[in-house]
Amino acid sequence: MEVIPLGGAAEDAGQMARDVRAGLSATPKDLSPWPKYFYDAEGSRLFEEITAQPEYYQTGAELSILKDRSDEIVARTGCRELVELGSGSASKTRALIDAMFATGGAPPRYVMLDVSESALRESGERLVSEYPGLGIQGFIGDFDLSLGRLLGRPSDHGRLVAFLGGTIGNFTPEKRREFLGALRDGLRDGDRVLVGLDLVKDRQTLEAAYNDAAGVTARFNRNMIRVINHRLGAGLDPDLFSHRAIYDAERERVEMWLHSEAEQSTVSPNLEAAFERGEGVRTEISTKFTPDSAARTFEEAGLRLLDLYTDERDLFALALGGPA
């Protein structure tokens, strides 16, 4: 399987330093605009472990929709190429790949974008063995630097661009419009998008999903500090940070925070930062949607919501859209 980098390492490292400096100098400290900094090989592994926790309903709900509706989605879109943004282990896309094979004709293609080269290679090798004839390409990159390059590649197939897992909720409203607008600009005639949306529900269910009893989400949250240390030469102590996740009903979003349990600071060529004892940094937001807010979100980006597929319990949704 071919794995192609999109964007240079120097460009990425320099941008990360600027992002983290901006986030840690804000009041309150806020790294949530850059969820990609959770992910190195360990971050990707921990996230996969999160999805297996009993409190984390999103993966099971989304999988049930894909199993029930993939044939319909593939028939409706006519796609022969599946492009997945933030593919990770690609565990949920098999239903769509199966549906593309079931239509017959030329072998379909699967194109993956992820920040983790190891995740791309591991999932790609599994899929090559499971689906003889499936054309697979992996691209290393992130949504900020790589989306236009990825969607601008030549393609002879109708494409379904999938952004699963509710990751769109991790973006601020402004970044969400910008991202979906860029996605809209990259679509060709006949292309469609499929976006995973976590739905508004009771506080207890939402907060439990981000505070699992096994503490996996807490370890995932602290891994952002480890990534910053490794890539920017910082010296913050991840073990001195405690994890907290709360639901903000007014904004309809879960917020994850890390709070420093002691005074600590770091000075390096790339980063200078200090934490008071008890001071927090917001590391992630996860917006939840209703059918109305899903339609508005698409409309603001120049997309038209074609359908909203939900699971039996209305926990999660897949939004199918196309150019307005």
CA distance 151 to 24: 32
CA distance 90 to 81: 15
The average confidence (pLDDT) of the chain is 94
10 has pLDDT over 70: no
Backbone angles phi, psi at 244, to 5 degrees: -145, 140
**If you average pLDDT over residues 202-215, what whole number do you get?**
98
Cα-based distances in Å from 132 to 79, 124, 155: 19, 12, 21
12 has pLDDT over 80: no
| DSSP per-residue codes, 245-271 | EEEETTTTEEEEEEEESS-EEEE-SS-
| Confidence at residue 150, expressed as pLDDT on a 0 to 100 scale | 93
| Confidence at residue 11, expressed as pLDDT on a 0 to 100 scale | 55
Torsion of CA 191, 124, 3, 7, to 10 degrees: 60
Nearest Cα to 264, choosing from 251, 276, 282, 248? 276
| Confidence at residue 204, expressed as pLDDT on a 0 to 100 scale | 98
| Confidence at residue 179, expressed as pLDDT on a 0 to 100 scale | 95
Nearest Cα to 193, choosing from 183, 207, 208, 181? 183
Burial (Cβ within 10 Å: 0-12, 13-18, ≥19) of residue 159: buried
Residue-range domains of the chain with CATH: 27-38+203-287 (no CATH), 58-199+289-323 (3.40.50.150)
Contact 140, 115 (CB under 8 A): yes
Q: Which residue type does 243 have?
A: H
Nearest Cα to 35, choosing from 215, 227, 276? 227
- Angle subtended at Cα 62 by Cα 60 and Cα 68, rounded to the nearest 5 degrees: 100
82 has pLDDT over 60: yes
| Cα 292 off chain centre by | 22
9 has pLDDT over 70: no
pLDDT tier for residue 310 given thresholds of 50, 70 and 90:
very high
Give me the numbers of helices (H) and strands (E) for the chain, helices first please.
10, 14
| Confidence at residue 231, expressed as pLDDT on a 0 to 100 scale | 94
Tell me the per-residue pLDDT of 100-143, one tens digit each, with 9 for 90 and over. 999 988 899 999 998 888 889 999 999 999 999 999 999 998 88
Pairing of strands 135-140, 159-163: unpaired
264 has pLDDT over 90: yes
DSSP state, residue 143: H
What is the percent of the chain with per-residue pLDDT over 70, rounded to a whole number? 98
Q: Which residues on adjacent β-strands are paired with residue 288? A: none
pLDDT tier for residue 164 given thresholds of 50, 70 and 90:
very high
